Structure 1
């Protein structure tokens, strides 16, 4: 779980650096800025590695190679590159990823995987795929996944999320993950009530100290990665003019090691 949490913070921190000015109307994975040739070459090499290393069932070797959240990462990396996901060079990889994620969803509850980390990232991947990948199963699966996320929040007295759908406490990493997935789902056309965002952002604010830095379950012990997650949720909520966002950005600029 600790290593999975590290993957989360790295991923969301990367999203934070790429989030456009009107991020609530766009995917956090897409940016209009030009990509240097060297970066494009690295990206393509990475995609080819993922394509060649993928097993027929859509999984990979390693400790986390069968986690639906990790498969979601792989799917999003392809979709973000801009190739045709249905007939392009990575179409088989896309299909395998989608098939695997859907196979790990509980048909009754909509829960994907065995933790809210997996569920959140898999939901985010389905939201990114919805409307891009020709697969009639994605829409219904995404709606069920979003419904599970919203139900889990209603059960949670803090207004956030943690490892289990039945959790009554929360932390900024799992909550940040769910908020990003809900923003993506709403952008894809899935109804998400404003109250869900308001409650989630309120919990995130409870983890932010006076300097704009975020901690794990409260303002104590702030970290750069957690602050990136908190800043991303504010960006997606179109709150980049809020003083708290500016404070968080200043904290990141001061503490990031380049």
Structure 2
């Protein structure tokens, strides 16, 4: 018993030391920017628990992304500065869970995005939930969500903006990646995910990949897209695929085509989306490469932050961009399993 106690105390000392070291390395400017961003998100949450994009769009997706950014700070549904906001977000998404398993609104013409991001967010909450009744509720919602996701998959193995049934079997890369990462997050949290669903999705992504290593918009074509390629690479890393020849091709393409400086005005669209995923990849690579990347990326992001803590770039709206940037800047916190090394 004494030996167990001694080992426990030693572990606590080491953990505390690691936390102190991490705290010393934190750039005060980054920490301040993150604090302002999260406070902005907290202010923007509606009393019903949701966030929304411009023109009152994408409430489910924005709620999941904003909630995820707050989780990265270390708060949970029961502890921390943003526990109330996270709890309201969870309540909102659980209430949006339909009988068929969809988390969202059937009349939303992009509902698969919200569904995928909700699986990601709620699975991270599930792992930290302390209340037994709420854990069972989350488990039920996530299990149904996985089932819906499998049934929404197209014959080619991808996903579109809506289910295969509602979208005439149309699929495209970015929605597919959202589902894959959400499914992996669920599986990591202990929710059963049939292996064949993810296997079909990985095959789909591989078929969308050009000779140069870029992932196309769709299996039907559309040209290689740096943001979708970065997202695909992040999903491969989530599954532990670091050294395969396919992964190396994707990484080489990203290193050639993704730039840090210049923000959303760069030659490729969806700059923030691209670096949301690419940052996850670079973080797992670790070492000097990550240090330089995150330093340059942070400087670029911080220069564009508004006085109220938000980022007002892009066509989706400030909640989206602020949630994405806040998540990137908090990757080193290491609180969420899906982003950990």
TM over 0.5: yes
Per the normalisation by structure 1, the TM-score is 0.81
1:208-249 deviations in Å (ceiling 9; x for gaps): 011111110135511210110111121122222111211111
The answer on whether the counterparts of 2:213 and 2:249 sit within 8 Å (CA) in structure 1 is yes
- Runs of 4+ in structure 1 deviating by more than 4 angstroms, as ranges, are none
What is the total number of aligned residue pairs between the two structures? 224
Show the 5 A alignment for 1:170-185: 170-185=171-186
Q: Distance in 2 between matches of 1:88 and 1:246?
A: 39
Q: Distance in 2 between matches of 1:216 and 1:246?
A: 20
Distance 1:200 1:35, change over 3 A: farther
Q: Distance in 2 between matches of 1:59 and 1:193?
A: 30
Q: Report the secondary structure of 2:217's partner residue.
A: coil
Show the 5 A alignment for 1:68-217: 68-106=60-98, 108-114=99-105, 115-133=111-129, 134=131, 135-136=134-135, 137-153=137-153, 156-165=154-163, 166=165, 167=167, 168-217=169-218
Q: Distance in 2 between matches of 1:124 and 1:84?
A: 15
Distance 1:129 1:64, change over 3 A: farther
1:67 corresponding residue in structure 2: 59
Largest Rg, 1 or 2: 2
C-alpha root-mean-square deviation of aligned residues, in Å? 1.9
> Which has the larger helix fraction?
2
2:29 corresponding residue in structure 1: 38
Structure 1 stretches of 5 or more lacking a match? 1-32
Structure 2 stretches of 5 or more lacking a match? 1-21, 106-110, 261-341
The answer on whether the counterparts of 1:112 and 1:122 sit within 8 Å (CA) in structure 2 is yes
Q: Distance in 2 between matches of 1:50 and 1:188?
A: 26
Q: Quote how far apart the aligned CAs of 1:59 are.
A: 2.5
Q: Quote how far apart the aligned CAs of 1:66 are.
A: 5.8
Q: Quote how far apart the aligned CAs of 1:65 are.
A: 5.8
Q: Distance in 2 between matches of 1:58 and 1:206?
A: 39
